[in-house]
Structure 1
Amino acid sequence: MPPDHKTILPKRIILVRHGESQGNLDTAAYTTIPDHQIPLTPQGIIQARGAGDHLRRVISGDSCSPNWRLYFYVSPYVRTRSTLREIGRSFSKKRIIGVREECRIREQDFGNFQVQERMKVIKETRERFGRFCYRFPEGESAADVFDRVSSFLESLWRDIDMNRLHHDPSNDLNLIIVSHGLTSRVFLMKWFKWTVEQFERLNNFGNCECRVMQLGDGGEYSLAVHHTDEEMLEWGLSPGMIADQKWRAHANKGAWNDHCFWYLDSFFDNLADSDDDNVDKEGETNS
């Protein structure tokens, strides 16, 4: 990399869940149709078009450069590709730099054809076992999804750093990732370094709901730049997680390690503040 190279970061990274699918409407669809071929319902198509209008308003707002551009990543499933096509109706070709189908952001694998009654029992077991670690028979756990999303994120950063997206620095770039509910939650978990316990708190995205990660004035991405405290509470973020998002909105890039006392406290809540405090405690114990 040349010494004068400077990475130009996207202004926003936006996660969008697909519109209502036939499987969301009637789980019996999974018994006859492979998961990756489940289509959108008519309502899902309407939701996707509405999401496109909403995204355009977000991206072209008053504080935005008039020369904003989009780059899409999309899961290979029929319902996500259809959602992307409907979202695309809100934009002209000149606004879209490119689109890439990305298998690593596909839905969690639940196995192949699903037996309805068996899946009901399996999902009840998952609730007792824990959503993150429970692996579906012949399928994946959320932990497995975490591994492939981590790999995708590494590729995403290389694309940004090496400007493989052909981003003109004078334009605001918006990356839009059209994916699935659990995959999007895992993406946020990985990005913001949330623990498994914090992940388990999160609620699923609604159909065509989005989460806007926007670049703060110090160079960190945050949900709190665009979203309200009330929204984040509804998504399942704890007050501590929300405080962290608000800090990120103004933090200098890379400063997280100097600010991670709350993260350390989640593991080491009984440590002394200093070595001197430890000595005092040892003296009290010995006496």
Structure 2
Amino acid sequence: MKVERLRWLGVVRHGQSTGNVIAERAENGGRESIDIPERDADVPLSDHGREQAAAVGRWLAERPPDLAIVSPYLRTRQTAETALAGTGVPMEVDERLRDRELGVLDLLTGHGVRERLPAEAARRARLGKFYYRPPGGESWADVLLRLRALLREVREDHPGARVVLFGHEAIVLLVRYLAEGLSEAELMAVAHDTTVANCSISSWRRLGDRLEPELFNHVEHLHQAGAAPTRQENVNAEPS
């Protein structure tokens, strides 16, 4: 997948959400399920997540993008709206940046999957995250199909532009996979060693005929703003 027609590509994970906080408590407490009242698409930012989003805004103000493309999920839209407030940067919502669909794993902790769905836990371990598709859900490879289409349109419709995406943990990892031409093994090594921080920034800039890595999981802007990084994985047993 080539995205060299863009001058700069950035991707921001949404700020800490109320779902992140509840999920962390459930995981740390050894619970099987995660008690989130909203559907996943309606989970909002926490107060700390809003502070993190404001810090992203200060970072972007020094290097404004030409366009922002945003997941339709509430926590992601709130992150983008806060970060881009008053900038005049156009914002497009695109469902292809939505979080990964987890199907039967929805609202289960890792412990809960192993206890309630041992056959699925075994199938996931055998197939690996890249190709494992939970019943009613998506594999990482499925998410890549929509990301490839989105990035193709972006590079064709906005040649030479600076574009920032606002998405979710798996989106950050899979954009890196596409932008850098990683193999499955290389992607899995990155995913194993990295929990993408809320409101972290990853970016690539054009050098010659291709995009080159610039930042990955960057959080210095959060430290500078006093909005401490949080690295909770999204709800539901796996990074997403």
> Does the alignment reach a TM-score above 0.5?
yes
TM-score, with structure 1 as normaliser:
0.61
For this pair of structures, how many residues does the alignment match?
A: 197
1:25-174 superposed matches below 5 A: 25-27=21-23, 31-57=36-62, 59=63, 69-89=65-85, 91-93=86-88, 96=89, 98-111=90-103, 114-116=106-108, 119-121=112-114, 125=122, 126=124, 129-161=127-159, 173-174=161-162
Return the alpha-carbon distance in structure 2 between the equivalents of residues 127 and 38 of structure 1: 29
Q: Is the 8 A contact 2:34 2:108 kept in 1?
A: no
Measured in 1, the distance between the counterparts of 2:99 and 2:72 equals: 9
Which AA in structure 1 matches 2:84? G
1:92 and 1:31 map into 2 onto residues whose CA distance is: 33
Superposed structure 1 runs of 4+ greater than 4 Å apart: 28-31, 122-125
Q: Which amino acid aligns with 1:74?
A: V
Which letter does structure 2 place at the counterpart of 1:39? P
Unaligned runs of 5+ residues in structure 2 are 24-32, 219-240
Match of 2:186 among 198, 202, 205: 198
Tell me which structure has the larger Cα radius of gyration: 1
* Contact kept in structure 2, 1:17 and 1:205, CA below 8 Å: yes
Question: 2:96 is paired with a residue of what secondary structure?
Answer: helix
1:237 match: none
Could you tell me how far 1:10 is from its partner in structure 2?
3.9
Q: Which residue of 2 aligns with 1:243?
A: none
Deviations, residues 39-71 of structure 1 (Å, cap 9, x unaligned)? 1111111111011112223x1xxxxxxxx6520
Equivalent-residue separation in structure 1 for 2:104 and 2:125 (angstroms) = 21
RMSD of aligned C-alpha atoms? 2.7
Distance 1:179 1:113 in 2: 20
Cα displacement (A) at 1:92: 2.6
Q: Which runs of 5+ in 1 are unaligned?
A: 1-7, 60-67, 162-168, 232-287
Distance 1:187 1:200 in 2: 13
Q: Percent identity at matched positions?
A: 23
1:15 is matched with 11
**TM-score, normalising length: structure 2:** 0.72
